[in-house]
Structure 1
């Protein structure tokens, strides 16, 4: 887990909230290196925990031995992040990318953040919007339901479609070597099943009254989470009748790699500025209540 020193934490906690960054499927915490360093330079403590089985391992190490990813489920991952967050002395800003954006919404449902930013987020249960490019993204996993508990490698060709579609193939292949890991198959199956049935571990309470503000961000060249999904998520929250703030921003020319594509600084700065300007004044000093 990447974090500043205890001395740095004490210095920043009194003035600026920490930021917890949550990576998505096929990725490790290294995918957040860009935003993490920028937020630290802005004076925030930044915590970037890996999913269970990924933890602080390098992408190459996870590819060599993905056995720890097998059978890991969405609730297990969310519980893991809840433990990390409850150990913090100050309620953090929580940001997540892709499946990490779904995890961010599930953490918001548990009331664990002071503000939330979901970057190209997976949809919670009950939002069945599935553009063709999104369906193709999941095809390598969904084509074999018997591998539900497995860890499917991501080919360089499929990585180019999902993450590197703004890059020439050779540059995308280099990025694959730096960042890509096998999928946690069970999480993907749980997400798809929840979107269709409205039930399961990806379910959130869209009408939650006490939820801190949430920003949903998409890019209009994203093959994994096209704007149609982001808009559907925000529309569902809006229809719930909750007074909690939920806003949407869409960036032209951006792919699923909003956190590292050229020009990522603009989006990172916008996300942090939005979150800090919407900090929930009613949030407790720290989310200290135990998990139930």
Structure 2
């Protein structure tokens, strides 16, 4: 009898379409997993459709996306591995803290409640959305220049522009406002149960050149788990920016994730 493959659920963050995970799906399928990369609530199936219909995702918040993925994972019928990037990383942390999933990998995860560092580069990267309070209920797109600063700063202009053209979509600004105000809101949607000691293992990954989620932010996130006895580890990739899941060096990160999962029996 064939042993069922363990599901691996990939959760993208803002400004990248779900199909940007395509190379990762191939890698994980070859490694014996059953990978899926569902979009956020109401996200169209293609980059082009998403660009043509930005209002479909406008006003989606952190809890909306988290509940959306929790339902998808429940339908898989077994404990899945959760892998998220940016706000997908925050969602991965929330789900794992709720006891959902066998293990989680949060790559350049968005800032959770309790994390205090707010570097200038991070503020600048978030300005396209946070710069105008009226954006709260809108879906916002990044220009090539804005993408270059927030995602592609460690790349050549040519590679950054290529990634912008291939994968970027309008994304809801609401999660950025929620994360920015998290430490001033009692029941913030950016709150994660970091004290849970019965959850599966968690790997945090940071790129040391990341502008959108600087390394100091991810290191501060790690400290939030100090009261949990569950496995929580950090892996840093030198000189890598926020694009590390989609740029030409993505495989190095993907293979490191597979090695970590194998080491922890998932």
Q: TM-score range by the shorter chain?
A: over 0.9
| Counterpart check, 1:263 vs 2:249 | yes
CA contact (8 A) 1:98 1:120 kept: yes
Corresponding residue of 2:134: 146
Number of aligned residue pairs? 266
Corresponding residue of 1:43: 32
- CA shift digits 1:206-242 (9 cap, x unpaired): 111211110000011111111101100001111xx22
Corresponding residue of 1:174: 162
CA distance in 2, matches of 1:123, 1:143: 18
Corresponding residue of 2:10: 21
> What SS does structure 1 have at the residue aligned with 2:148?
helix
- CA shift digits 1:270-291 (9 cap, x unpaired): 11221232247xxxxxxxxxxx
> What SS does structure 1 have at the residue aligned with 2:180?
helix
Matches within 5 A, 1:6-85: 14=3, 16-55=5-44, 57-85=45-73
Q: Which one of the candidate residues 128, 153, 164 is aligned to 2:152?
A: 164
CA contact (8 A) 1:34 1:259 kept: no
Matches within 5 A, 1:96-135: 96-135=84-123
Ranges in structure 2 where 5+ consecutive residues have no aligned partner: none
* C-alpha RMSD of the superposition: 1.7
CA distance in 2, matches of 1:215, 1:158: 28
Q: Which one of the candidate residues 64, 86, 95 is aligned to 2:83?
A: 95
- CA shift digits 1:253-284 (9 cap, x unpaired): 2111121223322221111221232247xxxx
Shift of 1:198: 6.0
Moved more, 201-210 or 99-108: 201-210
CA contact (8 A) 1:60 1:177 kept: no
The verdict on how the C-alpha distance between 1:221 and 1:71 changes in structure 2, with shifts beyond 3 A counting, is same
CA contact (8 A) 2:207 2:238 kept: yes
